[in-house]
Structure 1
Amino acid sequence: MNLYVRDLLERVAATFLEGFVGGLVITQMTDQKMWLAAVGAGVAAVASLAKGLAAKKTGRSDSASLVRSV
């Protein structure tokens, strides 16, 4: 697995986990709102994926960052 793919997967997974854990903090695990928080985390992860894919075209080809100097 090349550096870009590892970087992108790490960013997407971290975004999902941060959103999901944040949702768990404000809901109860048996509550239906927890699942809405999980959906919100999924949406954030998809946005992170889209940003990472766009970054490959505008930033460095081996990084999912928009900054060229990373």
Structure 2
Amino acid sequence: MSDFSLPHADTVVKTATTYGRDLLERVLSTALQAGIAGIVVTQPLDGNMWHAAGAAGLGAGLSLLKGLFAKLRDVTNSASLAKGV
């Protein structure tokens, strides 16, 4: 039978905290980006299905730009703007 070692409790708590911060940031930034995209695309065009699809694409584009900005401002391999993620 092979040895099965579990990580130290401090590592698990730190990892869970990091994950929680990263997840919270991504949820909040996605909500903000989708809201901006929805207003920018559908409001002036009296939105329909295609405009809503365009808004979703714009939201995805904003998410991509945020991830690229996060990579440029820090040396870590993360798309998060939060410190230590």
TM-score range, shorter chain: 0.5 to 0.7
Q: Which has the higher contact order (CA 8 A, sep 6+)?
A: 1
Mark the runs of 5 or more structure 2 residues left unpaired by the alignment.
1-18
Which residues in structure 2 correspond to 1:1-70 (within 5 Å)? 2-30=20-48, 32=50, 34=51, 35-52=53-70, 54=71, 57=76, 60-62=83-85
Mark the runs of 5 or more structure 1 residues left unpaired by the alignment.
63-70
Structure index of larger Rg: 2
Residues 5, 50 of structure 1: alpha-carbon distance in 2 compared, 3 angstrom cutoff: farther
TM-score normalised by length of structure 1: 0.54
Q: Percent identity at matched positions?
A: 5
Residues 31, 7 of structure 1: alpha-carbon distance in 2 compared, 3 angstrom cutoff: closer
Residues 23, 2 of structure 1: alpha-carbon distance in 2 compared, 3 angstrom cutoff: same
TM-score normalised by length of structure 2: 0.47
Aligned-residue offset at 1:18: 1.0
Counterpart-to-counterpart distance in 1, 2:39 and 2:46: 11
C-alpha root-mean-square deviation of aligned residues, in Å?
A: 2.9
